[in-house]
Amino acid sequence: MRSIEDILAISVDRKGSEAAVFDGFVPPKTAAELATAPDDRWLAAMTRAIFNAGFNWKVVDSMWSGFETAFKGFDPGVCAMMDDIWFDRLIADTSIVRHGSKIQAVQENAIFLNAHSQQHGSFGAFVAGWTPDQFTGLLEILKSDGTRLGGTTGQYFLRAMDVDGFILSRDVVARLIAEGVIDKPPTSKGAMRSVQAAFSEWRGESGLSLKEISRILATSTG
């Protein structure tokens, strides 16, 4: 496995400069900043990532104000109490994407979010308690305890909230395979442990965030 400095050199060679590699890059938030993010924004970001998955995100983006209204500002306490009447109204609401199981996921994720918020003081505090070296552990919790938050959906959700982490896009996976970290797209817990170990090693040698490392890997192939 090459050093992240060597992989960055590949990215710079492909993109023309280090500035081009990091064009538009937004640093991750600190643990303190994450802890203060309101619970409704975490539920909104979960929902947006879920509705974007396998769908044209531009459509979701154009309808987002309708989502905010239809789901009452994504108040987790309110959404957790969604009843059949509200669900039936949502499934007929043309201001949102009418996808039954994704609509139901809002209620289920509100319950999931509330449980961790009550235990830790806020959902942001729960997320902030996971270090970058434990990122795949956080992803596993989202997958096992949340609804429709597995795979890259959970990764995009956390990225939207500026959590320090990676996204296993096609380009990032291609670089991980090229470096011998994995031999195919990671789906097992063992493969994800290998991915975490590689990112943690690169982080330790460079002091870069997981998000920066993810950008370097992506631009080295894509």
Task: Give the pLDDT mean for 70-78.
Answer: 98
Residues 135-189 pLDDT 10s = 999 999 999 999 999 999 999 999 999 999 999 999 999 999 999 999 999 999 9
CA-to-CA separations, 120 to 26, 32, 116, in angstroms, rounded: 27, 14, 6
Confidence band of 222 (pLDDT split at 50, 70, 90): confident
CB 8 within 8 Å of CB 135: no
Q: State the Cα–Cα distance between residues 173 and 38, nearest whole angstrom.
A: 32
CB 110 within 8 Å of CB 149: no
Is the pTM higher than 0.85? The answer reads yes
CA-to-CA separations, 20 to 16, 25, 27, 94, in angstroms, rounded: 7, 10, 15, 41
Name the residue ranges covered by the structural domains of the chain: 4-28+166-219, 31-133
Q: State the Cα–Cα distance between residues 163 and 161, nearest whole angstrom.
A: 6
Confidence band of 6 (pLDDT split at 50, 70, 90): very high
Superfamily in which the 31-133 domain is placed by CATH: Hypothetical protein; domain 2 (1.10.340.30)
Residues 7-53 pLDDT 10s = 999 999 999 999 999 999 999 999 999 999 999 999 999 999 999 99
CA 169 to the chain's CA centroid: 12
| pLDDT value, residue 207 | 98
